[in-house]
Amino acid sequence: MSVIKNNSFNKPGALVTINEGINEKLKLPFATLALANMQLHKIHVLVKMENKQQEKLQTAYQLEQTATKINNDYFKAKAYNSIGAYHVFDGPQAERGKAGTYLTKAYNLAKKMNDANLMNEISGNLVIIKAKQGLHEEAKKLTEEAVANSLKENDFSGAQNLYNNLGFLYYNQKDYTNAISQFEKSIALADKVKENLTAKQKLEYNNTIAGVYKGMIMSCQNTKDVAKLFAVQEQSRSGYLKEQLNKNIPLATISDAQQLLQKEEVLINYSVGQPGEIIMSVITKDKAEIRYHYPIDELLSFKKAYTNKAKKIPATINPYLSDLQVDYTDGELVRYATKQAAYKKEDFVTLIEWTRQLLKEANPQLQTIQNDFLHFWYNLTLQPIQDILATHPKVIISATEELNYLPFETFLSPKNQYFVSTHDVKYIPNTTIWKIMANRKYPENRKSVIAFGGALYQPSGNVKPTARGIEDFYKISDAINKKIGKGIYNFKPELEAIGFGGANYLAGTLKEVQFVGTLSNDIKVFTGLGMSESNFKKLNATGELKQYKNLLISTHGFTGDVIPEFSGVMFSQPNGGDGNEDTFLLAPEIVKLNLNADLVVLSACDTGLGKLYGGEGINGLNSSFLVAGSNATLLSLWPVDDAGTALTMQNLFKKIVQQNAKAPETLNQIKRSFINGDFGERYMHPQFWAPFLYNGI
């Protein structure tokens, strides 16, 4: 069962099931071949799972013990290979030397058994060791032999990984042309693997091979091939969304983007190479070019000034940290070989998390620090294209990775102006999705707005969660996938297991939709118990939802990371329940809606977040509503303030309903009104005007 789930890229379900099997085998008073096989499979399941490196290492040591007890060289070699791989990729800097020892032991055992497949597998890790030792030609030869053997066995996934490794070998030697050639072979094999996968399986698979796209992007930047860079940026984001919208449409080209752009617009596709390395394809109506920024000294200095403070570094260590290549890691001083090696992914992610924290709390005592952070982001992402921005006041952003969690509107220019003060900003998943939505033709005679708000909930805290640890969440995720496979969308037991129940009443949501209801005679508003999930689905089934240009849902919102299916909004919770519905409209249900909407607005908290997938981007409520038929969404990046949200929504709908104004331009104007103090000094802080992002056409 676990093998089947893992092959279907349902890793949480596979992990839950294999743990059950291992626990049964451990009840025996002796070690068995079956136990070793299960432990090895668990290692395969844990590959590329987030925050599972230590569990994978522990399982490898357990496999080594089992293999020793049953005297099996094959499983010993597998265990040594896994332990060696940990020290190559994840282990502490001071223990990296252990990698070569374990991998050599593994390779010698494989050679002794004359097991070509096992030697191939171990070679993939040995290659990295040899490359770090400067033995590049030996590393290339090993890789090429392993690739040939993998292809001979029709092991396309293994060959894909080996070509990826070879690509990085060439990249590190600054042979970018050969690097691109290897990355292209790796991507072609990945596409071959994906031929027989479902859309969801492709999403999970892309998450495991995201590194190959990053290598390709970094190589294209160095060869200054903007067409190839743009193509791989399109290929490496929103593929799952495209699969749901129109899997047969070819990926967009630079020419497609230029046809969609207006003269005053610029499209910026952001990619991140090494942590903090910003690579952009910048497209205007008549020009396309690559822009690049990697201020490693600034990145390290900023890290030492702020994020290192969280480590509580002893004062006696501080003098040594003036050297940018020295850091305090795992309780000891470490000097890295290069400045680039000293700045890690977790440093970049921490910087983003701290920026978000500063933005969502209007704390006057932190104003100077907030400004430092926002100046930093402007210098990193926007200063390199200042000349283009000077002549293009409308900016369309396709972000990547954790950059999706930041509102570019808030970045501070050298003149201490928020970016939105001088430019209109909106976001798109990628140009291919933009092209698909631009070709949609909706009736002009649609009504203006259908709105839902003022929901009545059961008391907050009425449900006590039973899930305690990550394993419980994986079990719940597995149960959800089983239900979805059977077409069942009532997740009440699973929702209650993680504490989803009642909630506090939001009086502001009632006032908000009631105000919108006064703007035109064709607006329909549902409040109180009329705002039920069952009623909402009836409106969808009868085709009434698709008769409106704008859909507004004002209520509690939430997004799921561990369980991405649990992203959605709350509806009213009548005493005795809502028939067959669980009162939560979730992402798997949203994609099944039938909308003809220009815009969906979720006036709720955290609705713009979701699970971040490598090779895809954020998969959350934005994607769900675009699949359902909306051309754009307005979602939030953090918990929103009632009064600030009411000001935003009232002004937005007043203009788009009564003046037929365009939503993205109107939203940018409203943000400038906040900044200028038109709504009062209290609301000038980004906490109130920055959380809502316009994503779409």
Confidence at 545, pLDDT banded by 50, 70, 90: very high
Whether residue 608 sits in one domain with residue 518? yes
pLDDT of 148 above 90: no
Whether residue 451 sits in one domain with residue 422? no
277 vs 296: CA distance, rounded Å: 8
Q: Tell me, what's the pLDDT at 145?
A: 83
pLDDT of 103 above 70: yes
Given a contact cutoff of 8 angstroms between Cβ atoms, the answer to whether 438 and 259 are in contact is no
Over pLDDT 70: what percentage of the chain? 97
Over pLDDT 90: what percentage of the chain? 64
Mean pLDDT, rounded, for 666-695: 95
Whether residue 512 sits in one domain with residue 386? no
Report which of residues 629 and 611 the model is more confident about: 629
H or E, element range at 449: strand 447-453
Whether residue 109 sits in one domain with residue 42? yes
3-state secondary structure of 269: strand
Whether residue 351 sits in one domain with residue 310? yes
CATH number at residue 50: 1.25.40
Structure tokens at 60: 């490898």
Q: Tell me, what's the pLDDT at 643?
A: 85
Whether residue 401 sits in one domain with residue 451? no
User: Quick check: is 480 in a domain?
Assistant: no
366-393 pLDDT, tens per residue? 999 999 999 999 999 999 999 999 999 9
CATH number at residue 624: 3.40.50.1460
Structure tokens at 53: 């490196």
Mean pLDDT, rounded, for 582-608: 89
Q: Tell me, what's the pLDDT at 617?
A: 65
User: Quick check: is 229 in a domain?
Assistant: no
How far out from the chain centre does Cα 386 lie? 28
User: Quick check: is 96 in a domain?
Assistant: yes
Whether residue 532 sits in one domain with residue 676? yes
Whether residue 638 sits in one domain with residue 513? yes
Among the ranges given (151-165, 318-332, 574-588, 666-680), the one the predictor scored with the smallest mean pLDDT: 318-332
Whether residue 388 sits in one domain with residue 282? yes
User: Quick check: is 491 in a domain?
Assistant: no
Whether residue 654 sits in one domain with residue 536? yes
**Most confident listed range (51-65, 235-249, 305-319):** 51-65
58-99 pLDDT, tens per residue? 999 999 999 999 999 999 999 999 999 888 877 776 677 788
Mean pLDDT, rounded, for 503-507: 91
Q: Tell me, what's the pLDDT at 412?
A: 98
382 burial via Cβ count (<10 Å: 0-12, 13-18, 19+): buried
Phi-psi label, residue 461: left if phi above 0, alpha if psi -120 to 50, beta otherwise:
left
CATH number at residue 293: 3.30.420
User: Quick check: is 478 in a domain?
Assistant: no
User: Quick check: is 160 in a domain?
Assistant: no
Q: What is the DSSP string of 212-223?
A: HHHHHHHHHHHH
User: Quick check: is 387 in a domain?
Assistant: yes
Q: Tell me, what's the pLDDT at 606?
A: 63
pLDDT of 51 above 90: no
398-422 pLDDT, tens per residue? 999 999 999 999 999 999 999 999 9
- Computed over every residue of the chain, the mean pLDDT equals 91
Confidence at 331, pLDDT banded by 50, 70, 90: confident
178-231 pLDDT, tens per residue? 999 999 999 999 999 888 888 778 888 888 888 999 999 999 999 999 999 999
Structure tokens at 220: 């294209």
Q: pTM of the full predicted structure?
A: 0.88
Confidence at 582, pLDDT banded by 50, 70, 90: very high
269-292 pLDDT, tens per residue? 999 999 999 999 999 999 999 999
467-492 pLDDT, tens per residue? 887 788 888 888 888 898 899 999 99
What is the number of structural domains in the chain? Answer: 3
Domain range enclosing 370: 266-433
Whether residue 586 sits in one domain with residue 516? yes
pLDDT of 628 above 80: yes
Whether residue 451 sits in one domain with residue 381? no
Mean pLDDT, rounded, for 520-534: 96
User: Quick check: is 164 in a domain?
Assistant: no
